[in-house]
Amino acid sequence: MRGLLEVPLSRFCSALMSLILASGALSAGDYDALMGAVKKSWPQCTTVAVVCDSTSSRAGLASLVSSAGGLKLVVVDVKGPQDMGKAVGTLTGRKPDAIVLLAGDHVAGDGSTAASFLIQRMAAMKIPTAATTEAGVKQGAALGIGPGTGGKLLSNAKVAIVAGVGVPAGASSL
């Protein structure tokens, strides 16, 4: 694990703006609905963390950064599932208000065993997880909305209760 990368969003945005423009895999708006739902459902949320292979997930990170306006973003870089214990340790010390799963990240993306491990550990620490796919919500993310949900707001009420957060108004429960 390379470690923790914490930068003000303005610096991170300008550094990754070229990646947004160069990337065709994700559109800049893929995380807009998710970040809007996080801000509305969990107004106390000021810091969001993401665990991913930052090199392989540049486009996803760029899309998330462009959508996270006003929130502090903490990136924990992992290279494989073997790094998840260290990532959880880092997050335990940093205490973010929420975790966002990056769809498609080969280490901790929606549906991976590493994401399941992360979701469970964070919920036990009262830190909710959000995703952009239905698979992420079924896996345990407290809320999800985005391209992988068909634009529907979804929630996992059981996990939301464990994480100590409310279920978003109007969300379909899985």
CATH at 157: 3.40.50.2300
171 domain-assigned: no
Query: What whole-number distance in Å separates Cα of residue 94 and Cα of residue 118?
Result: 14
- Specify the number of domains making up the chain: 1
* Percentage of the chain lying above the pLDDT 90 cut: 72
Mean pLDDT, the chain, rounded, equals 86
Kindly state the tokens that stand for 14.
């300008």
The confidence score (pLDDT) of residue 29 equals 78
44 domain-assigned: yes
45 domain-assigned: yes
The confidence score (pLDDT) of residue 156 equals 94
Sheet of strand 143-148: strand arrangement: 3-7, 72-77, 47-52, 98-100, 129-133, 143-148, 154-155, 172-173
- Reply yes or no on whether the pLDDT at 26 is more than 60: no
Sign of CA dihedral 77, 152, 10, 22: positive
- Reply yes or no on whether the pLDDT at 47 is more than 60: yes
The confidence score (pLDDT) of residue 3 equals 55
Between the alpha carbon of residue 144 and those of residues 4, 138, 149, the distances in Å are 25, 10, 7
Domain residues for the domain of 27 are 3-165
Residue bearing the bigger pLDDT, 167 or 96: 96
172 domain-assigned: no
The confidence score (pLDDT) of residue 4 equals 56
The confidence score (pLDDT) of residue 167 equals 85
Task: List, in order, residues 6 or more apart from 113 with CB less than 8 Å away.
Answer: 81
Tell which residue, 156, 125, 162, has the closest CA to residue 143: 156
174 domain-assigned: no
Q: Checking DSSP bridges between strand 143-148 and strand 129-133, what pairing results, if any? A: parallel
CA 103 to chain centre: 9
Q: What average pLDDT does this structure show over 155-167?
A: 90
Query: What whole-number distance in Å separates Cα of residue 172 and Cα of residue 174?
Result: 7
**85-144 pLDDT, tens per residue?**
999 999 999 999 999 999 899 999 988 999 999 999 999 999 999 999 999 999 999 999
